[in-house]
């Protein structure tokens, strides 16, 4: 019997075009506007298959830093972004994988965020809630 891989999905409908949502996920200046407590100087994104990314979130109360990074596994502009998620130098084969899918619906975009390899659920006050809160910030950023 195999053990099921932990995973979760968050779906949001954003009042923005796929192009704007894509830019919010792939451009460093855009990312620092919605990723929680992430200064621009800590972000590096090489958005291409095999490219690496990293960013560091900073706890504003304790100044503790949380470095995050990984490798882009698949990049289909404006449609799909697949990347490992963990510490910047974690081995690819042992890292959780995020699949971000964007589907246009007129002036709106359906964003499906799927994280495979890490458990999460609403109310966990950890990974699921962290991403969900970040997506609230993304929605606000796209409205501004």
Structure confidence at residue 44 (pLDDT)? 96
Structure confidence at residue 2 (pLDDT)? 78
How is residue 30 written in tokens?
Answer: 């855009």
The reported pTM is: 0.94
Burial of 130 from C-beta contacts in 10 A (0-12 / 13-18 / 19+):
middle
Structure confidence at residue 117 (pLDDT)? 96
Given a cut of 80, is residue 1 above it in pLDDT?
Answer: no
Distance (Å, rounded) from C-alpha 86 to C-alpha 131? 14
Q: Total domain count for the chain?
A: 1
Reduced to 3 states, what is the DSSP secondary structure of residue 127? helix
Domain-located, residue 2: no
Structure confidence at residue 60 (pLDDT)? 85
- 51: CATH: 3.30.530.20
Domain-located, residue 143: no
Residues 56-70: b if buried by 16+ CB within 10 A, e if exposed: bbeeeeeeeeeebbb
Q: Where does the pLDDT of residue 144 fall: very low under 50, low under 70, confident under 90, or very high at 90 and above?
A: confident
Average pLDDT over residues 92-118: 96
The domain containing residue 123 runs over which residues? 7-137
């Amino acid at each position: 019997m195999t053990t099921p891989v932990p995973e979760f999905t968050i779906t949001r409908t954003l009042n923005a075009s796929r192009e704007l949502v894509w830019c919010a996920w792939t451009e460093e200046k855009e990312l620092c506007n919605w990723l929680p407590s992430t200064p621009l100087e800590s972000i590096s994104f090489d958005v291409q298959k095999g490219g690496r990314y990293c960013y560091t979130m900073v706890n504003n109360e304790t100044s503790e830093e949380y470095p995050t990074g990984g490798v882009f596994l698949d990049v289909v502009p404006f449609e799909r972004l697949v990347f490992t998620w963990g510490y910047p130098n974690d081995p690819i084969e042992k890292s959780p994988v995020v699949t971000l899918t964007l589907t246009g619906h007129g002036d709106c975009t359906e964003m499906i965020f799927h994280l495979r390899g890490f458990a999460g659920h609403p109310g966990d006050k950890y990974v699921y809630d962290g991403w969900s809160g970040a997506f609230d910030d993304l929605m606000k950023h796209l409205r501004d």
